[in-house]
Amino acid sequence: MFKHLKFIDGTSDKFWEIQTNGATHTVTYGRNGTAGQSKDKTFDSEEACLKDAEKLINEKTKKGYSEDGTVEVAPQVTKEGTVRKSNASAQRKEEAVQRIKELISKGSVSDIIPYLEEYASGNLEVIKKEIRAAKRYWVDYVDLSKDPVFKSKAQYDWGIRGTKGQQRMVKLLALATFSGSDAASWDVFIELINQVRSPEVDQILTYAKPNWLTPYLLQYVRKNTWQSVDYDTLRYAESKGFLEFEPEVYANSMSRLHNPSAALLSFFTTDELTIQRDIPLVFDYETPIHTVYSNYRYENQVNELTWDKIFDQLLADNKIDKAFILTSALEVQTKNWNINLKSYFRKLIDRIGVDEKMLLEHQELFFPLLHAENSAVINFVVDTLKPYFAHADFRLEEFLTWSEGLFMRNDIKSALKTLLVQFDKLLKNRPEVKEQFILQAADIFMVQDLQLQDRAAKFILKHQKDPIEALTEKLTLYSAQMLGSIPADLKNLMVASSYTEQEILSELLISTGEEYVFDPVNEKKLQQPITYPASWNDILFKIGEVIGSADAVQMEILMNAWVLQRANFPADYKEQLEPYINQLKKVYRESQWFHHFSGVFLNMYFQPNKIYQNTDRYSNYSKWASMIGEQLTQLQRHIAKEIQLPLLSLPTHEPFWIAPQTVVQRILDYQDKGVALDLLDLSIALSRTVREDLDGVVPLMDQVNDSQVKAVLTYALGFDDELKIEKKSWVKKLLSSSDNAHVGWLGVWATVARTHYPEAVFPEFEDENLKDIPFAVAPFQPELTFTPSYYQGYNYQTKKSEMVYDGEKLSFHFPNFKQEPHTFIYHKDIYQRGKDSLHSYYLYKDDISYMHSVMPQNTESLSLFLTLGLAAKCDQGGKTPIGYLQEMMYDFFNFDRQSVLFLATSCFNKEKEVRAMATEVLLTAIDRHRLPVQDLGYFLGILMSHTYGPLGRLEEVLGQCRDISSKHNNALIQVINQMLLDYTIAEKMPTNFKKLIELYYDLVHKENQEISIEMKQVFEKLMVFKSLQPILKKLSK
């Protein structure tokens, strides 16, 4: 049996259904359109189940449930068993409800007004309640998949029950009966207002005379800015008395003149009411008039804006005052509007051609705009007023009052250069304002731009020979921000008594700089022991920590503690875990390790005897990150076999190190309990084990029975430098398989060897299965190449798809996939993945710390993988690179060439947060003498040569490292030296290349560095760029 019932009225919209299956029935209930919630009930027999189902159906039917949702409440019965008769008023209401249902079902619009004339009086609330229910049933978009009436008729699972006629009936009935509060939540009336000329809507509005349409429209267009009512419709409705004039509604409507007809354009430029009352509204309300075209075509090079045509015609016909446009457009610049809309009004001022007289009459309207937040507004003001600075009627003193503080802004360099030139010209005829000019020009030294500062210094030195108190105070205050030789040039004006030339030269020749030398210190790693959970309460706390954490090592600690403490769990541990289980079900995190953990932990709760493995493709995209799944599988085996031993790879010290004594002791514990070692677990453990605190380790190793285990421990801990790999006989070689123990041990030996000797070559592996595996026999150093990148785009002018150039993309050639030996860590993700090599969106920030933790002493392969996966292009990887940059902040992190390349690409990264993190890495690494500056400069030069990314981003990163200390400045000089040496000069100077040279000049001057012959030769080549010649000549002196 199956029964689906609904209850739809003015306040409810719900369903109830029951389905029997043998002796069990399932009741499902909830809101229409949702899955609802279900409850099962089992009986002794199928007959009892059906009897109870019939009883429940009858109860729901009595409450008004029906198959189509129409509420049909059972008639009330008296004590004597007779049906209680309704009074006249109730009967009238019932009749009104029945008639409106028939009307809607029939869809006869012409019967609306007769119906309301007959039934509305005294029954209006009942009618409105029925209209609301009808909207939910006939008009709303709902799930029809479980609707027995409409399921077979619907083409899709979701749809609308009503026909167009039935939907229109419901909307018109609402328009005729609703008040403003009733209508507020309905969005159907905008459709009817746009159809106000139709006889049906006209008749309803004439009959009902709703007084709420205008405020309804205002609220609607504010919430839905992309929708509006046609302007001619508004005017018609206003003339009929259906709507009142509302300025914001009219402004919104007028701004939507997309591809207007000639007749409509003519109306806009000839109708007096439109011109006098409505057109000025576009200056009062924020509208998208800057995006509305009169005859837009994709193939056109330029498309004319509708409002340009309107204003042009109105001006030509003298129907709008040019001064009105000027003052209104200027006032717009003070409003917090869309910057492109404000730009349109600035262009409109240029378009209308304001003459000298009008501009001077309204000059005071320009001055406050000098304090605008948007730099484009200030540049516009300066460019517009520039020709009139020397005019007799120009109020220069007032302009200077408004321009106070302007010269400190870093985003209006063009305007500042213009003002310096104009000030220089004005001083010939206006010497009385010299001090104001000079004091304002001095503020430019707050702007980190060498060319601009140089202009300001020359201007000040030209017009001010002796120090004055106000200027001296400013220059002294700004001296730390001055670039290059400017502090020395202005020295005479910075103190009350002037320096002699010999004193200035002697000061310049004093070098107090600290030279940067790459000299990384081998930091002790075993400093902070990890505290493991020792009780059930500790484990509960750790579960909450892991659910909210991004650190996979904390999860390893939890899961190992789960194995060790399982025998001590309280009897009600599952009940105590319920809040965490519910939380874990709801949590989603972009992390492979978390996907593995959540799946395993939920399985241990619900199916503790089953070993769970996450085989999802995307949860195992990175072979390194998916190793956590194999560790968790091993822990589940421990639980299944009741082995109370931790994994060998469980870290003992923060953040992920293992102490030698601990790893040997764990092996002895496995030996004592007869538990076989998992060789991948052993590989990870030895990769994390450091050669520190070795006292007492040798006696422990002597207790290890297995000769191969003892040999690999001796090698891993540095007591022996010989690879004592067990050899196979020729018979075993013939019979060998890829998963046998010998291959597993080869992987362990190769992992340990590559961990401690990253640059070494191991001929011992050449005759084994490791011969063609990256990083096994020798370091894997593929050639860095750059190839053009393209994407498929559509050309709207030619109306054809075409490949669009998208910059250079760096790449490495990886070998084909070969996973064995499974126990060798360093090669796992170094394989070709098809045409696109790696998909950055499957690499997650939270996984990087775990990937680093399994091979922390040699990061070359990880750096190679992440560079290709996250930095093949400067706009790739989002903010995920931050994860690896954070790992580089550890004092023990070793900057090999591949990790330096990753750092170099991060300096060009599109995301500001990534560049900020790269800056932090540079600052810390330089301070700790850990940064190989020559390698960094080399890669930056290569990336710059291949236009890898905008140079402005690199200049920003290096600029933020400037003046932290003399040592940092010296390191930056070495980086830029090497970068310029390895830069291949292009035909066209890259954008912002000059800024890099200015940064270099400032650093060299501050540190009093000698320019090498090699660098002078580079400068000679760079002389091909004319704009660089002045600063290059300064550098070559």
pLDDT at 79: 54
Helix 552-565 vs helix 627-640: crossing angle, to nearest 10: 10
Mean of pLDDT values over 729-737: 44
Tokens at 24, concatenated? 């069990």
Higher per-residue confidence, 162 vs 637: 637
What is the enclosing helix (H) or strand (E) of 74? none
Provide the H-helix boundaries in 271-388: 272-273, 306-316, 322-332, 339-352, 356-361, 375-385
Stated length of the chain: 1037
* Chain mean position to CA 467: 52
Which range has the worst mean pLDDT, 335-349, 402-416, 708-722, 806-820?
806-820
CA neighbours closer than 13 Å in the CB half-sphere of residue 281: 20
Please give the backbone phi and psi of residue 3, each rounded to the nearest 5 degrees, phi first.
-140, 130
Cα dihedral 572→576→582→588 (10° resolution) = -120
2-62 maps to which CATH number? 2.20.140.10
pLDDT at 937: 97
Please report which confidence band the pLDDT of residue 14 belongs to, taking 50, 70 and 90 as the band edges: confident
Tens-digit pLDDT profile for residues 891-912: 999 999 999 999 999 999 999 9
Cβ atoms of residues 782 and 814 within 8 Å: yes
Cβ atoms within 10 A of the Cβ of 531, count?
9
pLDDT at 454: 92
Please give the backbone phi and psi of residue 802, each rounded to the nearest 5 degrees, phi first.
-150, 160
Mean pLDDT of all residues in the chain?
Answer: 89
Cβ atoms of residues 555 and 593 within 8 Å: yes
The three state secondary structure string of 174-204 is HHHHCCHHHHCCCCCHHHHHCCCCCHHHHHH
pLDDT at 501: 47
Higher per-residue confidence, 805 vs 201: 201
pLDDT at 61: 87
* Chain mean position to CA 237: 46
Please report which confidence band the pLDDT of residue 11 belongs to, taking 50, 70 and 90 as the band edges: low
Which range has the worst mean pLDDT, 71-80, 546-555, 666-675, 963-972?
71-80
In angstroms, the CA 609 to CA 785 distance is: 51
Phi-psi region of 703 (alpha: psi -120 to 50; beta: other; left: phi over 0): alpha
Query: Is pLDDT at 645 greater than 90 in this prediction?
Result: yes
pLDDT at 92: 86
pLDDT at 20: 87
pLDDT at 735: 41
Cβ atoms of residues 433 and 469 within 8 Å: no
- Enumerate residues 6+ apart whose C-beta is below 8 A from 949: 874, 875, 905, 908, 909, 910, 943
How would you class 31 by CB atoms within 10 Å of its CB: exposed for 0-12, middle for 13-18, buried for 19 or more? exposed
Question: Quick one: what percent of the chain has pLDDT higher than 70?
Answer: 93
Query: Is pLDDT at 477 greater than 50 in this prediction?
Result: yes
pLDDT at 225: 78
In angstroms, the CA 25 to CA 39 distance is: 8
Cβ atoms of residues 635 and 507 within 8 Å: no
Pairing of strands 37-42, 142-143: unpaired
Which range has the worst mean pLDDT, 107-121, 152-166, 334-348, 493-507?
493-507
In angstroms, the CA 849 to CA 483 distance is: 40
Q: Tokens 């409509």 label which residue?
A: 264
- Enumerate residues 6+ apart whose C-beta is below 8 A from 903: 885, 888, 895, 918, 921, 922, 936
Helix (H, G, I), strand (E, B) or coil at 727: coil
Query: Is pLDDT at 161 greater than 90 in this prediction?
Result: no
Nearest to 3 by CA among 61, 47, 43, 45: 61
In angstroms, the CA 998 to CA 1000 distance is: 5
pLDDT at 5: 86
Please report which confidence band the pLDDT of residue 44 belongs to, taking 50, 70 and 90 as the band edges: confident
- Enumerate residues 6+ apart whose C-beta is below 8 A from 803: 790, 791, 792, 793
**Amino acid at site 201:** V
Tokens at 264, concatenated? 């409509």
Query: Is pLDDT at 738 greater than 50 in this prediction?
Result: no
Mean of pLDDT values over 927-938: 96
In angstroms, the CA 905 to CA 743 distance is: 37
In angstroms, the CA 47 to CA 22 distance is: 9
In angstroms, the CA 823 to CA 680 distance is: 5
Cβ atoms within 10 A of the Cβ of 572, count?
8
Please report which confidence band the pLDDT of residue 71 belongs to, taking 50, 70 and 90 as the band edges: low
Cβ atoms of residues 940 and 904 within 8 Å: yes
**Amino acid at site 503:** E
Higher per-residue confidence, 108 vs 867: 867
Tens-digit pLDDT profile for residues 752-776: 999 999 999 999 888 777 888 999 9
Query: Is pLDDT at 823 greater than 90 in this prediction?
Result: yes
Cα dihedral 181→183→187→188 (10° resolution) = 180
pLDDT at 78: 52
DSSP-derived secondary structure for 785-818: EEEEEEEEEEETTTTEEEEEEEEEEEE-PPPPP-
Tens-digit pLDDT profile for residues 563-589: 999 888 999 999 999 999 999 988 888
Cβ atoms within 10 A of the Cβ of 503, count?
11
In angstroms, the CA 619 to CA 617 distance is: 6
Query: Is pLDDT at 731 greater than 60 in this prediction?
Result: no
What long-range pairs does 473-480 form, CB within 8 A, spacing at least 24?
Answer: 474/439, 474/442, 474/443, 475/442, 475/445, 478/442, 478/443, 478/445, 478/446, 479/445, 480/963
Cis peptide before 655 (omega within 30 of 0): yes
DSSP state of 587: -
pLDDT at 952: 94
DSSP-derived secondary structure for 483-516: -TTHHHHTHHHHSSSPPPHHHHHHHHH-------
In angstroms, the CA 176 to CA 170 distance is: 10
pLDDT at 3: 87
Nearest to 287 by CA among 310, 258, 255: 255
Query: Is pLDDT at 497 greater than 50 in this prediction?
Result: no
Phi-psi region of 674 (alpha: psi -120 to 50; beta: other; left: phi over 0): left
Mean of pLDDT values over 673-682: 95
Cβ atoms of residues 64 and 15 within 8 Å: no
DSSP-derived secondary structure for 444-488: GGGS--HHHHHHHHHHHHHH--S--HHHHHHHHHHGGG--TTHHH
Nearest to 615 by CA among 634, 600, 637: 600
pLDDT at 9: 66
Tens-digit pLDDT profile for residues 72-88: 555 555 555 555 555 67
Query: Is pLDDT at 505 greater than 50 in this prediction?
Result: no
In angstroms, the CA 831 to CA 430 distance is: 74
Please report which confidence band the pLDDT of residue 302 belongs to, taking 50, 70 and 90 as the band edges: confident
- Hey, CA dihedral for 125, 131, 133, 135, is it positive or negative? negative
Tokens at 325, concatenated? 């446009």
What is the enclosing helix (H) or strand (E) of 879? none
- Hey, CA dihedral for 613, 616, 618, 620, is it positive or negative? positive
Per-residue burial over 373-382, b = 16 or more CB atoms within 10 Å of its CB, e = otherwise: eeebbbbbbb
Mean of pLDDT values over 306-320: 95
DSSP state of 305: B
- Enumerate residues 6+ apart whose C-beta is below 8 A from 634: 647, 678, 681
* Beta bridge mates, 808: 788
In angstroms, the CA 564 to CA 150 distance is: 59
* Segments making up each domain of the chain, as ranges: 2-62, 330-403, 405-495, 536-722, 833-1036
pLDDT at 733: 47
**Amino acid at site 987:** E
Tokens at 129, concatenated? 């309640």
In angstroms, the CA 239 to CA 741 distance is: 93
Cβ atoms of residues 146 and 17 within 8 Å: yes
CA neighbours closer than 13 Å in the CB half-sphere of residue 341: 18
